[in-house]
């Protein structure tokens, strides 16, 4: 389990295609602390560390993951947000994040408010997901608060620290992001649907 609080970032050094899978070779300050079989969130996608040596490590995304996330569009040189699993004695600073991406969203706009930013994302509401005003959303592994919630889009307000210490500042209009909707909201929605049948 994760909290959506980005710890560090990794740079993609190489991508090796193996059948329908892709192995990502990454460089990060966290690499020396990683262990084989450890789960790490990569832009909100839970991947298992397969190899770690010095500043470098490797993870593999299978076809299922590549089809449902934006990892298939990641290129060499890209920067990825990282978060290790939450320790049992840690503080819960974000919200419950599983590292299981629900769908891809698209960046529609960026508004600069002289120090803070308002980013608006669209998504396919036909897949049954939703946001609520002041609720939680995970964008590329970052726990954020929803503002301007609509049926197929939402906005998030970004403080300078988050802007500088995640890959949000590198996004361009039309670029895809990984979205994980709030797990509590998803369960509530499922319960309500069951009772209205």
Q: What is the pLDDT of residues 28-70, one digit of tens each?
A: 999 999 999 999 999 999 999 999 999 999 999 999 999 999 9
pLDDT of residue 64: 95
The parts of the chain modelled with pLDDT lower than 70 are: 197
Burial of 35 (0-12, 13-18, 19+ CB in 10 A): exposed
pLDDT of the residue at 90: 76
**Domains of the chain by start residue, with CATH:** 8-84 (2.40.30.20), 103-195 (2.40.30.20)
Residue where the block lists tokens 């706009």: 109
Q: Catalogue the E-assigned strands of the chain.
A: 8-18, 21-27, 39-42, 45-53, 56-61, 79-84, 103-112, 117-122, 136-139, 142-147, 153-158, 176-181
């Amino acid at each position: 389990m994760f909290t959506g609080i980005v710890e560090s970032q990794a740079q993609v050094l190489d991508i090796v295609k193996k059948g329908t899978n892709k192995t990502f070779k990454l460089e990060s300050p966290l690499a020396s602390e990683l262990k084989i079989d450890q789960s790490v969130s990569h832009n909100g996608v839970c991947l298992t560390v397969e190899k770690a040596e010095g500043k470098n490590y490797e993870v593999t995304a299978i076809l299922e993951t590549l089809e449902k996330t934006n990892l298939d569009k990641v290129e060499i040189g890209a920067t990825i947000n990282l978060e290790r699993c939450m320790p049992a004695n840690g503080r819960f600073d974000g919200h419950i994040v599983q590292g299981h991406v629900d769908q891809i969203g698209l960046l529609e706009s960026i508004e600069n408010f002289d120090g803070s930013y308002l980013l608006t994302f669209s998504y396919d509401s036909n897949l049954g997901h939703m946001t609520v005003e002041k609720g939680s959303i995970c964008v590329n592994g970052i726990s954020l608060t929803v503002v301007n919630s609509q049926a197929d889009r939402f906005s998030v307000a970004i403080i300078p620290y988050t802007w500088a210490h995640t890959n949000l500042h590198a996004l361009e209009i039309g670029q895809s992001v990984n979205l994980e909707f709030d797990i509590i909201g998803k369960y509530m929605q499922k319960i309500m649907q069951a009772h209205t049948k």
